Structure 1
Amino acid sequence: MCFAITNYLNVQASSDYQIVKTKYYTSSTPFHAKYPKQNTYLWNAKHTKRLHNLKNYPNSFWTRAKTVILRKNNKPAVYYYVAGMTPHGTPNLYGYIWRGYLKPGYNPNYKAWNGLDINYFLSDKDYQRYINQSPSQNLSREVLHLFPNARLSLNLSKLTAYGSTLTDFQKQFSDVLIVKNANNAFYNPRGKVTSANQKLTAIKAAFDAHGYNQQKRSALNGYQIGIYYESNRQKGGIFSYDDGYYAGVTVAKSLN
């Protein structure tokens, strides 16, 4: 019933809508179109003008800035005020949309996306899909192949990206394996750009030197693996990214 009512609102422009409540957000939570092949519109605040049709932006996701309750004829509906994010940076994609037309999370067509914020992936499976598909994640895919029996963990990947201390890791994991030289190899040395293959060779050599050759890496059954890597985000020779995250890989067992 709610869907039918709001679908009617989506096609009937009217100046009788009133914003009766607003909630603002400090973080930009992403959403994507629930019905990407249907006409679904962003509206102005008075709900009198269609601004954009989500169907025209099939690879986009939409970040929520605030939630409003719009009321017409004493019937409330919850809308999000969103900004559109496209792979090529299309500007000025803003508007209000009924929340029932959106689903949480990034646009799942990760083949079109690079450098997404790790904080907003929904699950291990979601992050794995991104690594499998994103053009920016070729190195991550190859590093994961070095540990064929370890399961990718979004939580462990976040801790890795945050540059967490061993104490932080040990609050949730045991048998934590961090090889500093391997993590440093994700970066370009100062004044030099290394290819993904060169980085992979250096990462593999660092684990070998640490006593974890391929046979031992393959024997890590029951372990989880966390990984974070962004291409083209390094500033100079500093071992961190310009967004404050850190590249690297961590292998560990969950305490749960």
Structure 2
Amino acid sequence: MHLLKRMTLMGVAVVSLSGITYTAQTANASTYSTVSSTTMTKTAYHKKSTTGAVYNASHTKKVATLKGYPNTTWYATKKVVLKHNGKNAIYYQVKNGAGTKSGIIWHSYLTKGVAPFNVKYAKNAVAYDATDNKVVWSKSANTARPIASVSKLMTLYLVDKKVAGSGYSWSSKVKTNYSGLVAMGKDSACGGFRFTKSSYTVKQLYDAALIDSSNNAAIALGQWVAGGSTPTANKKFISMMNAQAKSWNLGKAKFVSSSGLEQSDLKAFGYSIGGADANMVSAKDVALIADHLITDYPSTLTTASVKSMTLSGQPLYNYNNMLSGRKYYQSSLKVDGLKTGYTPKAGYCFVGTGQKSGHNRIITVVLHDENEFTETQSIMNNAYSKNLL
């Protein structure tokens, strides 16, 4: 009887038949071997299309797909020639700007230059350097559009301004017994903090307006700033909002609501003042309002970073999901504010701010977005990775 043995060792087939040994080279079609590696001047590249991927050095595992990193700049530092199926191909050894992804990629998947950056869903957006006071990136940032509860940033600025003046404090009382505000607090669509008392302190309503985005709390505060407690004072306060915008040379800001609710919603509660239906403000002007607020009154960030609390027996919940412990938190970005907003007309709006270690503070604004937190992350990371601030 003949004894047949077959073994494969290191790509060599060894066959033993009747004591006679034969050897034959076998090729592994999936194997990539390095032919040469040459250091090159660090050069920026970005995706030519969504095709392609970055692999580990042995080309056995995907590190990142270009489709998954559409706005990434890849920095090449070596030219590597690999042999596969008997053919040589040029690869680049690359790393992204943040230094979190690195590997090799076929050179034809890339094109030279820093990646152009854009966001997909936000209709208007801006990244603002709050330390050097300059716009570092924008998308239709000078086009005015509805901004929903982001409007409260201007309201809160004027509240801070009054508290900082003489004769007033955070413990000053604000009347909250007007029937329209009481009804608004109970409304499922327009409500917020329910007014169960005839008055609250300025600090209590400030917390309700900033943390929980309470509409009736914002309106009550505005009326207090204007010196009253009825819709007449509300109308006066809105004039003050527009005057403040004018003093800052915000040419793309027009207010008709202290809360951000549209006139069509406010009418049922006696707070429609006529004219345009919604506050119309550009992303850039929103960023400037936010900058004035946190620069002139930095304690705002302490309140804005509160994730939840109980006030007068009612829960206040902060919908900023980029804060620590929330779904979109990213530790390196150190986001500590600032304000969310939504109405069907305005879409999802978000003003974010934070200061990454070693960089200036950033303020970002996205208006009429569908993925406001992920796109804010992208805007912030893009600005930091490109050392724009």
TM-score range, shorter chain: 0.3 to 0.5
TM-score by length of 1: 0.36
> What's the TM-score, normalizing by structure 2?
0.24
